Amino acid sequence: MKKILKYASYIVIAIVLIVVAGISYITLALPNVGPPENIKVEATPQRIERGKYLANHVTACVDCHSTRDWTILAGPIKEETLGAGGEKFDANVGFPGSVYVPNITPYHLKNWTDGELFRAITTGVKKDGSAIFPIMPWESYSKMSREDVYSIIAYLRTLKPQRTDYPARQLDFPLNILVHTMPAKATLGTVPDQHDTLAYGAYLVQIAACKDCHSQANKGKIIEGLEFAGGHEYTSPNGGTIRSANITSDRETGIGSWTKEQFLSKFTQYADSTHKHQRIIPGEFQTIMPWYKYGKMKVSDLEAMYAYIKTIKPVKNRVNKFTPAEMRD
């Protein structure tokens, strides 16, 4: 009996040591995407212009990294907060921890090298080597072309410095351990020829991170077979639950029956100079889809996205886009 107890205690000690070693390895040695590259991005006017277009209207960096006015349908950003960060993900929106979207103006990034920024955008690793939680869709950006990332870096350096700082990130166990394993080396892409509409549309959909929001995921991994089929749930900033739409070409439950004009106007209505902000009352339908920013995408780019989305395999998945919060008395 004594012997058995002795062996059992060895086994327990061994297990504890393995777990401690495993956690130490994960937290000390990961992420290991390598050091930042030694690069210097030349800020040409072309790059700044392209970067401005991408960061605002395609990759939507500044949509997330600014504060949004959630009293208006689709939450346009408060222009005076451009790049200042400040949106918070915490228990109120069902997030296991508390993460503030950081400031990405020169006030906060002035000591970051271009290589560190490049690594952050394409692999999800911060200046200090720690992981960026994938609320930021850096996995989608990891397939951007090098030149497009350079353009975004050149543009970020031109933003008006905003003096905002936020509390450090808190993640609940076990996410605080797992987050170290998330960053991954980039597999950069190339910008296809714009005349190759399908390939060009696919590139835009990729770097605009449409799939991140429009697919259901399990523990952060997109469920195979449900790509673009919608149903990803979010706590609405205005109360209740919203779900991303099915944007596959299924005619019944997706957008397969939409004409190009319908698709375009769904976006461009927000960019139209006659567009009136629609105020919403608490509890009403609100959406996190960055319609205002995407709405100013070039029409030819929206057309290319439409052409590509039409080729996405239809998936039958009926989505109820909104469930109001339960009425409390």
Interacting residues toward ligand HEC by CB under 6 A: 55, 59-61, 64-65, 99, 101-102, 104, 117, 120-121, 126, 132-133, 135-137, 141, 152, 169, 205, 208-210, 213-214, 242, 244-245, 247, 255, 266, 287-289, 294, 305, 321
Nearest-approach distance from CB 306 to ligand HEC, in angstroms: 8
* Alpha-carbon span 284 to 303, nearest angstrom: 31
* Alpha-carbon span 236 to 243, nearest angstrom: 9
The separation between the first and the last C-alpha atoms of the chain, rounded to the nearest angstrom, is 61
Give every CB contact of residue 253 below 8 A, 6+ residues apart in sequence: 246, 315, 316, 317, 318, 319
* Closest to 121 (Cα-Cα) out of 220, 37, 228: 37
Q: Indicate the residue among 190 and 266 with the shorter CB distance to ligand HEC.
A: 266
Q: Indicate the residue among 187 and 329 with the shorter CB distance to ligand HEC.
A: 187
Sign of the CA dihedral with 156 first, then 211, 267, and 241 last: negative
Nearest-approach distance from CB 242 to ligand HEC, in angstroms: 5
Q: Indicate the residue among 73 and 281 with the shorter CB distance to ligand HEC.
A: 73
Nearest-approach distance from CB 189 to ligand HEC, in angstroms: 14
Q: Indicate the residue among 41 and 205 with the shorter CB distance to ligand HEC.
A: 205
Sign of the CA dihedral with 61 first, then 297, 246, and 315 last: negative
Sign of the CA dihedral with 207 first, then 304, 254, and 189 last: negative
Give every CB contact of residue 247 below 8 A, 6+ residues apart in sequence: 210, 214, 228, 230, 254, 255, 309, 312
Nearest-approach distance from CB 17 to ligand HEC, in angstroms: 30
Question: Can you read off the two tokens belonging to residue 147?
Answer: 């030149």
Residue 122 near residue 144 (C-beta atoms within 8 A): yes
Nearest-approach distance from CB 37 to ligand HEC, in angstroms: 15
Give every CB contact of residue 269 below 8 A, 6+ residues apart in sequence: 275, 295
Residue 120 near residue 102 (C-beta atoms within 8 A): no
Q: Indicate the residue among 154 and 205 with the shorter CB distance to ligand HEC.
A: 205
Q: Indicate the residue among 45 and 230 with the shorter CB distance to ligand HEC.
A: 230
Q: Indicate the residue among 154 and 289 with the shorter CB distance to ligand HEC.
A: 289
Nearest-approach distance from CB 44 to ligand HEC, in angstroms: 18
Q: Indicate the residue among 42 and 233 with the shorter CB distance to ligand HEC.
A: 233
Q: How far is the CA of 306 from the CAs of 18, 209, 269, in angstroms?
A: 51, 15, 16
Q: Indicate the residue among 1 and 269 with the shorter CB distance to ligand HEC.
A: 269
Nearest-approach distance from CB 212 to ligand HEC, in angstroms: 6
Nearest-approach distance from CB 8 to ligand HEC, in angstroms: 41
Question: Can you read off the two tokens belonging to residue 270?
Answer: 């927000």
Question: Can you read off the two tokens belonging to residue 21?
Answer: 């070693």
Sign of the CA dihedral with 8 first, then 13, 18, and 22 last: positive
Nearest-approach distance from CB 289 to ligand HEC, in angstroms: 3
How long a stretch of residues is the chain? 329
